[in-house]
Structure 1
Amino acid sequence: MIYIARLLALLLVLFLPRAAIADPPGAPLGRVERMFSDRAGQELRLFGRDLFDGAGVAEGPALGAVGDDYRLGPGDELSLLLRGQAARTSRHRIGADGLLLIDDLRPIQAAGRPLGEVRAELEAAVAASHVQTQAFLSLLSMRRVGVLVLGQVARPGRVSLPAFATPLDALIAAGGVLPDGSLRSIRLVRPGGEGAGLDLYDLLTRGEGAAADLLSDGVRLIVPPLGPTVAVAGSVKRPGIYELPPGPVSGTGPDDTADLLTLAGGALRPGRDRSSLLRLSPEGLEKPLPVSAGSPVTLRDGDLLIHAPDGGARVGSVSLWGAVAEPGGRVLAEGMRLADLVDRDMLLPDAWLPMAVLLRRTAAGGAPQMRALDLSALLAGREAEPARDGDRLVVLSAADIGFLRSRSVLALLSQQPPDPLHLAECAGLASLAAALSADPDGVLAAGPLARASSGVEGPPLPCPPLFQGVDGDLLPFLLHQSVFMRRGVLRPGPYPLAGPMALSALAPMAGGNFAGKGNVAPGQVADAVGDGVLLSGPVRQPGLRSVGEEGLSLRALLSGAGAPLPDAYGLAGLLERADSAASGRRPSLFAPAEVVEGRFDLRLRDGDRVTLFRHDEVMAVEGDKLDPVDPLDPALRALLSERMVALRGGVVRPGEYPVAGPLPLPLLLRAAGGVKPEGDPSRLELLPPPPGPRGEGDGDSRAVVPREITGGVAAVDMIPPGAALRVALRQRPQERRGVLLAGEVAEPGIYDIAPGETLSMLLRRAGGLTGEAYPAGVIFTRESARLAEEEGLRRNARELDRQLSQMLGGKNPPDPARVELVRALAADLRGATALGRITVEANPEVLGERPELDIPLQPGDRVHIPKRPLTVTVSGEVLAPASLLFDPEKETMDYLREAGGLTRFADDDRIFVIQPNGAAQPLESGWLDHDVAAVLPGSMIVVPRDAEPFEWLPLTQSITTILSQIAFSAAAIAAISE
């Protein structure tokens, strides 16, 4: 069955229709589109080309929507309903001569006439020839027209369309106009040779024109190559490539630059413009021509209009942007100061107080002037500079400042080649790269910040929105105003300031701590005194702490801002200290709980690293239960694994706990959650660590024996690493005693069982079986049986792998395709989930006569009594696997015959029947010539696959057994789902 499923999946992939795996939408640029896009610096598409993207041919409206103005023609089919003295229904098709022929009525000329007019004439004819008879005429089906589409289309040829089709529908049916085809010079030739021009721009711009007219049969559409084109790019609503009109009679343009701008939807921002027209000269050179709205320029083939509207500046206003709650413009009041623009309540929590940026318009126009302002001084009201019209104040955020120390910015400062992708995504990086290239000997390219950036690798931070748009020039300005914090801080890099600032105030913002005196100014490189002590892990404020002149102790470090969080592990922390002799760091362990409680302290040095762990991180190293995503370093994990104390018995969280050294008993019990209610606090047993170089024992060679701790949990004994502590239990732990009884019993549900209770006792407690119960199909599952079955499947998979390895190492290795089949089978066995079904007897009458069949129950058992089934299932290697209607007169051969008989892959020597209770009964050899016991309802007849492909592997019988086990579980699961 597994191989059949794999074969079906392969056939589906091989014969999947091409439409289901078509290429995703989004056609590549055409030659004209690519040429204009390269010249404009942005992607430009031909106007109107998306008209044919993903469109289908409309089949016309529903017949009920056809109005009386629809003009009939040859091929239209009409329905006539007569009611009254003459009652009949008939269908009539308009002939090639245009006549509508109806029995008992004169012929009616219908072609070319509206449906309403023909209906009125027909009603009059019926009234004249039939007394008291009403006529109802309706359109049953519309004729189709044939149109020949030629030229620059995807699928030239004849297309068949509904009578309501237009030239646009014909073009869509032909696959649409190609990128090198014209949309404006299409020729429409009617029968008889009468031709007319077709301009799709009329339909695209005004929603009218010949492209929306109805087609007639025999029309030809001819799409010529693309004509002269122009393009518009920049700040317009609809940038693109536009085809010039075929002649002066066209009213859609564009004829000059003003028409082109109108056709492109106009400027994004009305106002003054700085547009230029790029025109190709006969020599192939591109020359810019100034263009203004008052003096438009006549267009030529190949012209490219770049529109850059200025739009002017806002008058009588100032604006506030960045890390504020309500960014935007403000009315410029008389006597308004810059300090009036912002207050502390409107700032976001991550606003950068040492500096804000003022962008002020210059009298000559152009780029605004940038100035650094102290935001703290603005908030305190110490800045009295008046605001000017058009001022823009930008408040920086933590993300903006953090990007200055990012990997991409520091790489540019240290003269590393830029990543083109980063420059394209971030305007600030592009502006910084341009500034460094323009002034290679300047402050940024060769100053202190550039030298300090060498060797510092920042984090890979994304470009903030502030530096992605027109404010990209802010990035070089902020670096000019920055102090580079280098040594003694957790986050080295540039930090912008408005002016000189105390190093003791700036260092904490960089993750450091400097208690000395002294100021730093923009353009300088600052190092905190000493390397400090780095505190990390689950503490309130991780970071660097300065040792200072008075020194720093471990207890002082873990207090105040460095206090451990509730999820911190208290029995082991890590202290790493520089070891000059070993040119590295020497790790040692300490107990944070003892430090916080005042029983242990240590004087720290510059360069020390103190790391606390979360409880779940440390417990991931417990015994063999290693977390697959272990957050700890392997060397640290090995260090903790060597210093374990095992807590067992009546504690809330039993397990193995890493410890820094001998710890008091109460501290260990608190780490394990204390004693459980069923634990005995007066009875504690300690197994000392074994003697030896790793243990804490005294090296005595005598056997280690457990001893009882005097005083119970109140004792203050020191428990060394390697010991095992057990809290005794007052009573046996309560185990699960519930059994699930479901299906056709009077009272299904979960029942608690008494020791020694059997299945018949449980059925009596549940009120017995219902009248529809089928005890022969009982499904009885047990957890221990499920685990044993799964282990058997895994064992068989390992045996398959072993024998396959032997075969592959032999002189004549098997065929690779067969090797893959065996490996796939082994993988399926490893992933199979067993059910744990046990064959039991559930008929109360049988259990009363034969009590030895009454199975004792265990906690966790699941019993399902199904309804009596009406089918017998045939599966495996038969032509039509199915569930067949049960018939007591049928034998096994009858069911196999109804399933189409055996396939040529069937192993007819190993056919077996799975009984409703789960028992499997193989058919005897020569079963076709002998009678067998009748098949019960709910049984499954399994025809296994012949193991011939594995004849080279001495595991044929085992494979058959494995497949039988899988089929056995499948039958049981199917019975439960019913």
Structure 2
Amino acid sequence: MRYILNIILAISFVFAQDAAEIKKKIKESGLSESQIRQMAKQRGMSDAEIDAKAKELGLGDKAAEGQVSQPTIEDIPEVGAEDVSIQLPETTEQGTIQEDEQPLETIESSIEDFVQQEGLDIVEGEELDIVEDNLILESKGQPGRQAVNYYGYNIFQRDPAVFQSSVFGAVDPDYNIGPGDEIIFMLWGETQFRQVLTVDREGFIFIPEVGQVFVNGLTMDLLESKLFKVLSQRYSSLIRSNGGSATTFLDISLGDMRPLRVIVLGEVAQPGAYQVSPTTTLFSALYYFNGPTTLGSLRDIRLIRSGRQIASIDFYDYLLSGKKINDVRLQLDDTIFLPTRGKTVSISGEINRPAIYELKKGESLQELMNMAGGLRVSAYLDRAQIDRIVPPEERDALGMDRMFIDVDLGLIMNSKDDYKLKDGDKIQIFSILDLRQNIVVINGAVVRPGTF
């Protein structure tokens, strides 16, 4: 703030000097006509008295002298130079005081009167901080649906070898011997030798001094029994004689095992023949051809052998529980068939695994929520919404192709009755509001500001 000290000194020249000197002092003071007029009014002069005094001093005819019109001088009562000083703002947008502005002293006096009247406390010596707080909304708009992916299909992008059984260790007793397999048999005791034989394409092995033996399709137990009978005819010490014990013993094992060739058909990207590891099962075979496309089913994967279906697996069992239920080891020329995906629904929002799921016949909204990992703790139970495509056979009766259905999740979860879903349903689980009603917020000159 700057001070125009003793502005009355300029005004006092009206009474002490001639008109020329008064004009000079007014010009040096830098006051506008409106400022001088306002000061005169504050000292009790009327507009008529101000105009008369200006005319007397000859300050209203500047335009006649070819100059821009200047403020007029008002007749101001004589006061001492030391009586009054006026404080003006350092800078204003126009550099002038507006006529309708009240003096600072008047405003402060009005504020003090109001504070005393209302009984308010005044904080002295401290500047109060103004805290801008966001408005807490007590309502929330319905969110849009989030994009979700088909559940389970991305797992087949991994390396097939990661999901195969180990080729080391004991061979599965149910493994079927076939062309290309290496059979290792050893005799030890009274007679000793070791022989590695390869099954030919007709399924035979040739044992020196014994001849050909057909082994194709035999399991390890059956192979050992057959070879024992054949070799005991040549090596009598393999069997007990004269009530004594056998003096020669037989061991059978497998060396290198042939790869399997299987046929894959149905909803796959590249149907055809695939070569897989000899330890491959129906579950692990899916990785060789990257599983089904999203048009194919994960709930009904079929194994066909010799023209008939011998097994069907639900891959969701493996994904959700890690259990390989009804898994079967593959054999040469088996066929894997993947049918079209069945009833499909999506669930999104406040659910742990939002995705698009395939449902079996009879599975309901309750089973769907279990597959999706259950509701989040922030789920709103009083209302969920189903976006449904009306089945073709019901459209004429309802007069619509699509519809929204609001359901009470709390009632459904506590009910013993299943809530049936239809193909194409889209379920959205809403969130509770981000609103807390039992709090107060304290800020300012306190030891521990915050939310309580």
After TM superposition, the score normalised by the length of structure 1 is: 0.26
Number of the residue aligned with 1:302:
424
Select 1:188's aligned residue among 303, 319, 340: 303
Please tell me whether the aligned partners of residues 388 and 403 of structure 2 are also in contact (alpha carbons under 8 angstroms). yes
Select 1:48's aligned residue among 149, 152, 171: 152
Please tell me whether the aligned partners of residues 262 and 335 of structure 2 are also in contact (alpha carbons under 8 angstroms). yes
- The letter for the 2-side match of 1:94 is V
CA distance, structure 2, for counterparts of residue 205 and residue 99 of structure 1 = 44
Number of the residue aligned with 2:364:
256
Report whether the alignment pairs 1:209 with 2:325.
yes
Give the deviation of 1:369 after TM superposition. 6.6
Select 2:276's aligned residue among 150, 161, 174: 161
CA distance, structure 1, for counterparts of residue 194 and residue 438 of structure 2 = 87
CA distance, structure 2, for counterparts of residue 92 and residue 263 of structure 1 = 50
Alignment of 1:13-28 (within 5 A): none
CA RMSD between the two structures: 3.5
CA distance, structure 2, for counterparts of residue 42 and residue 233 of structure 1 = 7
CA distance, structure 1, for counterparts of residue 311 and residue 190 of structure 2 = 53
CA distance, structure 2, for counterparts of residue 179 and residue 40 of structure 1 = 24
CA distance, structure 2, for counterparts of residue 240 and residue 40 of structure 1 = 15
Partner secondary structure for residue 333 of structure 2: coil
Report whether the alignment pairs 1:146 with 2:266.
no
Distance 1:271 1:180, change over 3 A: closer
Give the deviation of 1:120 after TM superposition. 5.3
Number of the residue aligned with 1:288:
405
Please tell me whether the aligned partners of residues 299 and 316 of structure 2 are also in contact (alpha carbons under 8 angstroms). yes
Please tell me whether the aligned partners of residues 262 and 333 of structure 2 are also in contact (alpha carbons under 8 angstroms). yes
Select 2:198's aligned residue among 83, 93, 100: 93
Alignment of 1:470-869 (within 5 A): none
Number of the residue aligned with 1:242:
357
CA distance, structure 2, for counterparts of residue 65 and residue 275 of structure 1 = 56
Give the deviation of 1:213 after TM superposition. 1.4
Please tell me whether the aligned partners of residues 157 and 287 of structure 2 are also in contact (alpha carbons under 8 angstroms). no
Please tell me whether the aligned partners of residues 177 and 223 of structure 1 are also in contact (alpha carbons under 8 angstroms). yes
Please tell me whether the aligned partners of residues 70 and 115 of structure 1 are also in contact (alpha carbons under 8 angstroms). yes
Report whether the alignment pairs 1:368 with 2:437.
yes
Alignment of 1:337-486 (within 5 A): 367-368=436-437, 371-374=440-443, 376-377=445-446, 379=448, 394=451
- The letter for the 1-side match of 2:425 is D
Give the deviation of 1:178 after TM superposition. 1.8
Give the deviation of 1:98 after TM superposition. 4.9
- The letter for the 1-side match of 2:369 is L
Select 1:279's aligned residue among 387, 398, 411: 387
After TM superposition, the score normalised by the length of structure 2 is: 0.53
Partner secondary structure for residue 381 of structure 2: coil
CA distance, structure 2, for counterparts of residue 306 and residue 271 of structure 1 = 10
Listed one character per residue, the Cα deviations across residues 927-958 of structure 1 (whole Å, up to 9, x for unaligned) are: xxxxxxxxxxxxxxxxxxxxxxxxxxxxxxxx
Please tell me whether the aligned partners of residues 63 and 141 of structure 1 are also in contact (alpha carbons under 8 angstroms). no
Distance 1:375 1:82, change over 3 A: farther
CA distance, structure 1, for counterparts of residue 402 and residue 262 of structure 2 = 45
CA distance, structure 1, for counterparts of residue 389 and residue 268 of structure 2 = 32
CA distance, structure 2, for counterparts of residue 68 and residue 150 of structure 1 = 29
Listed one character per residue, the Cα deviations across residues 208-245 of structure 1 (whole Å, up to 9, x for unaligned) are: 334x3112222222323433311111222222110121
CA distance, structure 2, for counterparts of residue 74 and residue 302 of structure 1 = 48
Number of the residue aligned with 2:169:
64
CA distance, structure 2, for counterparts of residue 109 and residue 375 of structure 1 = 95
Distance 1:79 1:275, change over 3 A: farther
Give the deviation of 1:260 after TM superposition. 0.8
Number of the residue aligned with 1:175:
290
CA distance, structure 1, for counterparts of residue 300 and residue 148 of structure 2 = 22
Please tell me whether the aligned partners of residues 40 and 306 of structure 1 are also in contact (alpha carbons under 8 angstroms). no
Number of the residue aligned with 1:598:
none
Give the deviation of 1:108 after TM superposition. 5.3
Select 2:223's aligned residue among 110, 118, 121: 118
Please tell me whether the aligned partners of residues 276 and 305 of structure 1 are also in contact (alpha carbons under 8 angstroms). yes
- The letter for the 2-side match of 1:291 is D
- The letter for the 1-side match of 2:291 is G
- The letter for the 2-side match of 1:50 is N
Number of the residue aligned with 1:516:
none
Please tell me whether the aligned partners of residues 147 and 170 of structure 1 are also in contact (alpha carbons under 8 angstroms). no
Number of residues paired by the alignment?
284
Please tell me whether the aligned partners of residues 281 and 287 of structure 1 are also in contact (alpha carbons under 8 angstroms). no
CA distance, structure 2, for counterparts of residue 68 and residue 186 of structure 1 = 25
- The letter for the 1-side match of 2:224 is R
CA distance, structure 1, for counterparts of residue 313 and residue 174 of structure 2 = 25
CA distance, structure 2, for counterparts of residue 208 and residue 124 of structure 1 = 37
CA distance, structure 2, for counterparts of residue 215 and residue 291 of structure 1 = 47
Q: Which runs of 5 or more residues in structure 2 are unaligned?
A: 1-142, 238-246, 391-399
Give the deviation of 1:166 after TM superposition. 1.9
- The letter for the 1-side match of 2:159 is A
Number of the residue aligned with 2:72:
none
Please tell me whether the aligned partners of residues 346 and 355 of structure 2 are also in contact (alpha carbons under 8 angstroms). yes
Partner secondary structure for residue 173 of structure 1: coil
CA distance, structure 2, for counterparts of residue 259 and residue 150 of structure 1 = 30
Greater RCO (CA < 8 Å, at least 6 residues apart): 2
Distance 1:379 1:184, change over 3 A: closer
CA distance, structure 1, for counterparts of residue 203 and residue 312 of structure 2 = 30
Listed one character per residue, the Cα deviations across residues 714-733 of structure 1 (whole Å, up to 9, x for unaligned) are: xxxxxxxxxxxxxxxxxxxx
Report whether the alignment pairs 1:199 with 2:199.
no
Give the deviation of 1:142 after TM superposition. 1.6
Partner secondary structure for residue 237 of structure 1: coil
Please tell me whether the aligned partners of residues 127 and 134 of structure 1 are also in contact (alpha carbons under 8 angstroms). no
Number of the residue aligned with 1:228:
343
Give the deviation of 1:72 after TM superposition. 2.9
Number of the residue aligned with 1:822:
none
CA distance, structure 1, for counterparts of residue 296 and residue 227 of structure 2 = 48
- The letter for the 1-side match of 2:367 is D
- The letter for the 2-side match of 1:294 is N
Number of the residue aligned with 1:948:
none
Give the deviation of 1:299 after TM superposition. 0.6
Listed one character per residue, the Cα deviations across residues 879-918 of structure 1 (whole Å, up to 9, x for unaligned) are: xxxxxxxxxxxxxxxxxxxxxxxxxxxxxxxxxxxxxxxx
Please tell me whether the aligned partners of residues 300 and 313 of structure 2 are also in contact (alpha carbons under 8 angstroms). yes
Partner secondary structure for residue 287 of structure 2: helix
Listed one character per residue, the Cα deviations across residues 823-848 of structure 1 (whole Å, up to 9, x for unaligned) are: xxxxxxxxxxxxxxxxxxxxxxxxxx
Report whether the alignment pairs 1:266 with 2:374.
yes
CA distance, structure 2, for counterparts of residue 88 and residue 162 of structure 1 = 31
Please tell me whether the aligned partners of residues 277 and 303 of structure 1 are also in contact (alpha carbons under 8 angstroms). no
